[in-house]
Structures are given as C-alpha cells and as structure tokens.
Amino acid sequence: MAEPTAPNPEEKGGAAADQPDTPVAPGAVPQAAAPDESVSREPVPVSDGLLYGKPTEESHGTTIVHTGRDGYLELCQALKGDGYAMIIGVSGVDYLTHPGRSLPEGITPERFEVVVELLSLVRRHRVRVRVQVPDGDTRLPTLFDLWPGSEAHEREVYDMFGVVFDDHPDMTRILMPEDWEGHPLRKDYAIGHVPVQFKEAPSGR
C-alpha cells in the first residue's frame, strides 16, 4: 500500500500537536495494529440452514437470514458479536402488490419487510437480515445502539414506508419535508402526475 503524499516532517510535527489523542512523534507514521489471529476469516458458520435458529439461504456469496420481529434484535446483536461490524444499509420493501414471494417455513409473510445489510471487514462476508413487519403495527426496535450508522437509514425507512423504530434518537422525516403526510414509497401511494395542458400549435398556413 502506497504512502499518502507526505508533507514536510517539520510541518507534520506541528500538525500532530493539534491531533487529539494521537501521540505520534514528528515525521513518524503510526503502524497499523497487528491483525488479531483469533478472529475468524471465514463466513459465520450456518448449520442445517439455520443461523442462531433463523432460516437462511445463500445468494451469490451473501447469507440471507429471515426472521420475524421476535428475535430480530437478538439476531442482530449476535451477528455484531460475530464480527459484522459495519452496517451497509437498512431499506424497506412494501410487498402489497407483489404476486408472491417464497419465504422459508416458520416465517409469516407480512406487508412490509425491512432489509438490513451487514458487512464483516475481517471475514469479507455479507449477511442480509430480512425482517417481516405487519401492516397494522409497523414498529421495529432500532439498531442505533448496535450500529450508529443505521440512524439515517432508519429515518429514511420511516419517511418512505412509515415503519417506526423504537428508541431511535431522532425519529423524524429525512428526505421529505417535515409536515408531509403519507409515506411515498408505499405501493398505495400514487406516483403523482403533474397535469399538463396542451395548446394547439399555431399552424403555419
């Protein structure tokens, strides 16, 4: 790996003094920590198609775990403990007008599905958690305490689908204006059209 374009050692010394909590001698480059050999580099092991008791499937190198709301937070905690330290995204899907999807046994299909994509840098492996959220009671526990990076994504899912995340620090709309009514990405929310009036073009004759 190449070094970044290094500035003058004298200047680096001066700048290093401004760094909070980096006791680095002027001109020295901190070495990366030695890799922790005890951490596994393999994908988290799936036994009998189950991961922490939840049914899984494989898709192009990603392990997809299906769950209902019960056990969702515990599953995520277990995955974080297993080294899935980075949350890539949280997105929602509204299956209202979907012809029918195949879910494993034991998972009741609900109208909304929240999809959480996790990444383990050490294992170089991704896990996708798909959790079912019923229509009348669109609530889920927040993942903010596990992964602070879920904050903006959960706000977007709330804004677009109306799924409320309990204990989220700031459960407000993020893309739509604050006083907007309705949740635009739901299937029963019309795409909207701007009425266009056509005028007869003036004829050249």
Partner 1 sequence: MTTEQFGDLLQSKTSEGAQELTSRAKTRSEELRRELGGVLRLPEGVDADPGDIDIDVPDDETMILNLGPAHPSTHGVLRVMLELRGEEILRCKPVIGYLHTGMEKTGEELMYHQGSTNVTRMDYLAPFSNEASFCMSVEQLLGIEIPPRAVWIRMLMLELNRISSHLLFLATGCADIGAINMLVYGWREREVLLSFFEKVTGLRMNHNYFRPGGVAADLPDGWRDDVLAICEAIPKRMDEYDNLLTGQPILQERTEGVGAVDADTMIGLGVTGPLLRSTGVAWDLRRDQPYLAYDQVDFDVIIGSYGDCWDRFAIRFNEIRESVKICRQICDLMPPGDYRVQDKKVTPPPRGRIDESMEALIHHFKLYTEGFKVEPGEAYVPIESPRGEVGCFVVSDGTSRPYRLHMRTPSFTNLQVMPPMMHHALLADAIAIIATIDPVLGDVDR
Q: Kindly indicate which of the ranges 25-33, 42-50, 132-140, 194-202 contains the residues binding partner 1, using the contact rule CB under 8 A.
A: 25-33
- Is 185 near partner 1 (CB under 8 A)? yes
- Is 78 near partner 1 (CB under 8 A)? no
**Nearest alpha carbon to residue 126 among 89, 72, 73, 91:** 89
- Is 172 near partner 1 (CB under 8 A)? yes
Cα–Cα distance between 165 and 184 in angstroms, integer?
18
State the Cα angle at 14 between 9 and 15, rounded to 5°.
95
For residue 85, count CB atoms less than 10 angstroms from its CB and return exposed for 0-12, middle for 13-18, buried for 19 or more. middle
In the 8-state DSSP scheme, what is residue 47? B
Minimum separation from the CB atom of position 48 to partner 1 (A): 23
Which position among 43, 68, 71, 89 is part of the footprint of partner 1 (CB under 8 A)?
A: 89
Sign of CA dihedral 62, 96, 68, 80: positive
Binders of partner 1 among residues 58 to 77 (CB under 8 A) are: 59-60, 62
Q: Which residues bind partner 1 (CB under 8 A)?
A: 1-2, 4-5, 7-8, 11-12, 15-16, 18-20, 22, 29-30, 32, 59-60, 62, 85-89, 91, 93-94, 98-101, 115, 117, 121, 124, 128, 144-153, 156, 160, 169-170, 172-179, 184-185, 191
